[in-house]
């Protein structure tokens, strides 16, 4: 069964020698399996290590922990145990044989051999194991040709794909996620055609998955370097229609009187990829701390309101007026359907979708201080993310046009920096509070207070007065006088 004894340092981490020793003393066979083995061959860093044991995973983990005085977390329901050893999380599980019932993702589980365990894994590249037995330490155990598929960049199920996907439809999303994540500019990973066909046949099985699990996979797809690949595969297999039909409705180009519009699906995917690229560039340049999942959601949904706003105007061609407003209104519903948080993350996505046209619109107009101040006021601390999204939103088949639009966009960015330095509008707080208005004019809570505050805010944003208390107070007094209000005690 063993192929080669490894000489290449894959098992240098001290935990492997330790597990090997303890397993021998306990009289069980143990193997490293799954993602760690795959990532060794791909030269990618692996965060965690999975150990499979022919016997009890929990018992072996506890025996290892006794030797290292490490803390073990035991998950008895799952038959797994986890311990941290020299900074690495190591998970132990007993080898199992699984059989499925059609109505659930939960299998009937029995103890099994290593090979039974490999058979229940999702893909050949995820089913490889390294032996931890003393006799053949480091030997690759690969009954399904995972190493061949890894070299060829192929994602294939160990069993008939209809069975693998029907048993656990989450695997369809995992296939797509791995294809997107493992692909590099040098070598792309493709899902074998039989598998893609099986997905198209099995797409209705998605109904047994919880929305939370689906959303978790979508998040992982969005966080890959080139998310478009995942969304194209979701579309191609018909899974997108089930998961995010609103996105699929962006597909297609309609032509009237010889005039077509952009395919908004392709455009959206290009924008998501550009956001991912620009985030990486900003992180490399030290301008950004980390990738932001919610910015990627904003990119994915930025044009979601286009189908609902599409009109053909014989004079100008296709228009999508107000699509950002319609899109922003759609965001909560989409989050709710996918059981995603309806908290400030959703509000952030909604805000970016709603504002995504503003900076670009400024490019076409003359960039006035007042328009920039209003943008800063509305975007607040999310202005940098909004600007990144808008820059990524510039796409065209004509490269010269992209260069020109980007240059114009840079002017907006410069203006933003200029206005920001002058006026500190980003975290604008009205210098005039409601309490102050009430106390000054001796009036109870009423609409007039809002009206006065609004007048002051507009004056500051329009540059009529400076962003400070003295000028705001003076304006408040003169405006209130024009409304017939009198200062208390005068
Ligand atoms: P990652 O780098 O994303 O952690 P991974 O391959 O380690 O990749 P995990 O989700 O951590 O993926 O799962 C560990 C291993 O468990 C996989 O390599 C695979 O062998 C197996 N596995 C996980 N989920 C499934 C599933 N739904 N069906 C079958 N096997 C699975
Ligand atoms: Mg893992």
- Mean of pLDDT values over 45-59: 94
Contact 416, 387 (CB under 8 A): yes
Instruction: List the domain range (segments joined by +) for residue 146.
Output: 2-152
**Residue in 87, 86, 107, 88 with CA at minimum distance from that of residue 98:** 107
34 lines ligand 1 (CB under 6 A): yes
Ligand 1 near 167 CB (within 6 A): no
pLDDT(4) > 70: no
Quote the pLDDT of residue 90: 96
The residue nearest atom 25 of ligand 1, judged by CA position, is: 122
Query: Cα separations (Å) of 212 from 209, 215, 243, 296?
Result: 8, 5, 11, 18
**pLDDT score recorded for residue 316:** 80
Higher pLDDT, 146 or 77: 146
Q: Read off the pLDDT of each residue in 379-397 and give the average, rounded to a whole number.
A: 91
Q: Which CATH number do you get for residue 71? A: 3.30.460.10
Whether ligand 1 lies within 6 angstroms of the CB of 118 is answered as no
Atom of ligand 1 nearest to the CA of 120: 29
Distance in Å, CA 35 to ligand 2 centroid: 5
What is the pLDDT at residue 425? Answer: 75
| Residue 48 CA, ligand 2 centroid: distance in Å | 6
| Lookup: tokens for 165 | 């996907």
Q: What is the pLDDT of residues 95-116, one digit of tens each?
A: 999 888 777 778 888 899 999 9
Which residue puts its alpha carbon closest to atom 2 of ligand 1?
35
171 Cβ below 6 A of ligand 1: yes
pLDDT for 318-374, tens place per residue?
788 889 999 999 999 999 999 999 999 999 999 999 999 888 777 766 778 888 888
Q: Which of 192-201, 229-238, 251-260 has the lowest mean pLDDT?
A: 251-260
Residue 296 lies in a domain: no
For residue 305, what are the contacts with CB-CB under 8 A and spacing of at least 6?
320, 322, 323, 324, 325, 326, 327, 328, 329, 330, 353
Name the domain count of the chain. Answer: 2
CB 240 within 8 A of CB 248: yes
Any idea which ligand is nearest the CA of 34?
Answer: 1
Confidence of residue 155 (pLDDT cuts 50, 70, 90): very high
Among all ligands shown, which has an atom nearest to the Cα of 45?
Answer: 1
Mean pLDDT of the chain: 91
Ligand 1 site, residue 121, Cβ cutoff 6 A: yes
- Check: CB of residue 297 under 8 Å from CB of residue 387: no
Tell me whether residue 345 is in a domain.
Answer: no
Is position 51 within any domain? yes
Separation of CA 126 and ligand 1 centre (Å): 7
How far apart, in Å, are the Cα atoms of 441 and each of 433, 454, 476? 13, 17, 10
Which pLDDT score, from 0 to 100, does residue 6 have? 60
**In a domain? residue 70:** yes
% of the chain with per-residue pLDDT over 70: 98
State which of 134, 152, 170 marks the end of a domain.
152
Residue 374 phi, psi (nearest 5)? -65, -40
Provide the pLDDT confidence category of residue 2 given band limits of 50, 70 and 90: very low
Distance 33 CA to ligand 2 centre (A): 10
Any domain includes 350: no
pLDDT at 385: 96
pLDDT tens, residue by residue, 445-459: 999 999 999 999 999
Domain boundary among 133, 152, 171: 152
Give pLDDT, residue 1. 45
356 lines ligand 1 (CB under 6 A): no
Using the 3D structure, point to which of 152, 176, 206 is the last residue of a domain: 152
143 lines ligand 1 (CB under 6 A): no
Tens-place pLDDT, residues 203-241: 999 999 999 999 999 999 999 999 999 999 999 999 999
Which pLDDT does position 123 carry in this prediction? 98
What is the pTM (predicted TM-score) of this model?
0.89
Give the C-alpha distances (Å, rounded to integers) separating 206 from 101, 126, 337.
15, 22, 14
Residue 418 lies in a domain: no
């Amino acid at each position: 069964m063993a192929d080669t004894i490894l000489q290449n340092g894959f098992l240098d981490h001290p935990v492997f020698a330790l597990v090997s020793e303890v397993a021998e003393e306990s009289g069980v066979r143990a193997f490293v399996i799954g993602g760690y083995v795959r990532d060794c061959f791909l030269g990618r860093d692996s965060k965690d290590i999975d150990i499979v044991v022919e016997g009890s995973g929990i018992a072996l983990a506890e025996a290892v922990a006794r030797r290292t005085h490490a803390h073990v977390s035991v998950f008895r329901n799952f038959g797994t145990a986890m311990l941290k050893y020299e900074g690495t999380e190591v998970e132990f599980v007993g080898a199992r044989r699984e059989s499925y019932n059609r109505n659930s993702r939960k299998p009937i589980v029995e103890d099994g051999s290593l090979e039974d365990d490999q058979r229940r894994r999702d893909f050949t590249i995820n089913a490889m194991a390294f032996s931890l037995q003393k006799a053949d330490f480091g030997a690759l155990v690969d009954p399904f040709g995972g190493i061949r598929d890894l070299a060829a960049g192929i994602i294939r199920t160990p069993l008939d794909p209809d069975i693998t996907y029907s048993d656990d439809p989450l695997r369809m999303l995992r296939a797509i996620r791995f294809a997107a994540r493992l692909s590099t500019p040098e070598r792309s990973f493709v899902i074998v055609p039989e598998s893609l066909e099986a997905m198209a046949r099995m797409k209705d099985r998605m109904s047994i998955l919880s929305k939370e699990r689906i959303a978790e996979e979508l998040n992982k797809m969005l966080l890959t370097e080139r998310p478009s690949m995942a969304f194209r595969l979701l579309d191609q297999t018909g899974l997108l229609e089930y998961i995010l039909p609103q996105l699929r409705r962006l597909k297609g180009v309609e032509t009237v009187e010889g005039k077509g519009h952009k395919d908004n699906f392709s455009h959206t995917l290009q924008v998501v990829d550009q956001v991912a690229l620009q985030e990486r560039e900003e992180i490399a340049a030290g301008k950004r701390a980390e990738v932001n999942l919610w910015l990627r959601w904003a990119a994915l949904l930025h044009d979601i309101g286009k189908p609902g706003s599409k009109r053909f105007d014989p004079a100008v061609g296709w228009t999508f007026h107000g699509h950002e407003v319609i899109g922003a209104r759609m965001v909560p519903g989409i989050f709710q359907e996918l059981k995603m948080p309806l908290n400030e993350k959703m509000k952030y996505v909604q805000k970016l979708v709603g504002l995504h046209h503003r900076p670009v619109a400024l490019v076409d107009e003359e960039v006035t201080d007042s328009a920039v101040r209003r943008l800063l006021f509305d975007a607040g601390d999310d202005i940098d993310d909004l600007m990144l999204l808008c820059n990524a939103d510039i796409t065209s088949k004509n490269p010269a046009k992209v260069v020109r639009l980007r240059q114009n966009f840079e002017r907006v960015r410069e203006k933003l920096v200029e206005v920001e330095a002058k006026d500190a509008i980003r975290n604008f707080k009205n210098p005039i509070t409601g309490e102050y208005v009430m106390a000054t004019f001796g009036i109870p809570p009423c609409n007039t207070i809002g009206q006065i505050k609004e007048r002051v805010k507009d004056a500051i944003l329009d540059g009529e007065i400076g962003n400070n208390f003295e000028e705001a107070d003076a304006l408040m007094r003169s405006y209130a006088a024009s409304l017939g209000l009198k200062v208390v005690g005068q």
